[in-house]
Amino acid sequence: MILAPARDRGVWYHSHMAATSEETIALLHGVPAFSALAEEDLGQVVDVIVPRSFGAGEVVFREGDEGDTCYIVRTGQARAIREHSDGRSITLATFARGEIFGELAMFDDERRSATVEALEETEAMAILGADMRRLLRAHPDIAVKMLGGLARRLRETNERLARQSFQTVQSRVASVLADMVAAARSQGAGENDVLITATQSDLAQLAGSSRESASRFLAVLERAGVITQGRGRLVVHEPARLEGYVY
């Protein structure tokens, strides 16, 4: 198997990761930052993409690192965490196929505000900020379209935060589980018996609740037959029933 050096931080990637331009364009089209771009515009973005791969538990970048690259998940899953000086960490978000993280690196070189690590074997598409800025200077119409996509994502984030402020713990946990099910299905999971790799602490942090409160609600779901829990993972047997706990 041929190995080629990636352009970001001297990391190596496997050449078999390379996808066709058509596959990459289709994936990019579902990313909010690029969703407004025409196919020919997306082709320009494809030209600056660098394939990357990460092993389970491998750190993509750390809080405080220079922000010179953004990433789009092709396969696998990653998460963003913030670490406290006393050793505790909080999960801020998880990223599955077609989701982007570190996207502000396309526009500036600010240091990372969180650490991102792969939760499993993960393949990603990396875009160096310098390459993207050269592209945007050469094609300002692409920049305008991308700003519209980023604005929509910001509005959606604000709406989600506002909605969560009125939700109960069980509603927030059920919403997080539903989002994880949707992400798993995007990677080939079936309609039922969907495996979710996450701890109770992860779910609690994503839902903005205590671990104890999240654990109590997960026990309710388990007794109802909606889920089965294991160590660091759970199976959602009937995802549709989660909707009954979201309000």
Q: So what's the pLDDT on residue 138?
A: 92
* Neighbour tally for 45: CB within 10 Å: 24
Nearest to 208 by CA among 174, 173, 182, 246: 173
Q: Which residue has the tokens 């973005």?
A: 45
> Domains in the chain, please, with CATH?
3-162 (2.60.120.10), 167-245 (1.10.10.10)
Between CA 191 and CA 68, with CA 71 as vertex, the angle to 5 degrees is 165
What is the pLDDT tens value at each position of the chain, 247 positions in all?
333 333 343 343 443 445 678 889 999 998 888 988 999 999 999 999 999 999 999 999 999 998 899 999 999 989 998 877 776 677 888 898 899 999 888 888 888 989 999 989 999 999 999 999 999 999 999 988 888 877 877 787 777 666 666 678 888 899 889 988 888 887 778 888 999 888 888 888 888 788 899 999 999 999 999 999 988 889 999 999 998 888 7
Q: Which residues pair with 229 in a beta bridge?
A: 234
**Residues 68, 178: Cα–Cα separation, whole Å:** 32
**Residues 201, 90: Cα–Cα separation, whole Å:** 9
**Residues 50, 72: Cα–Cα separation, whole Å:** 10
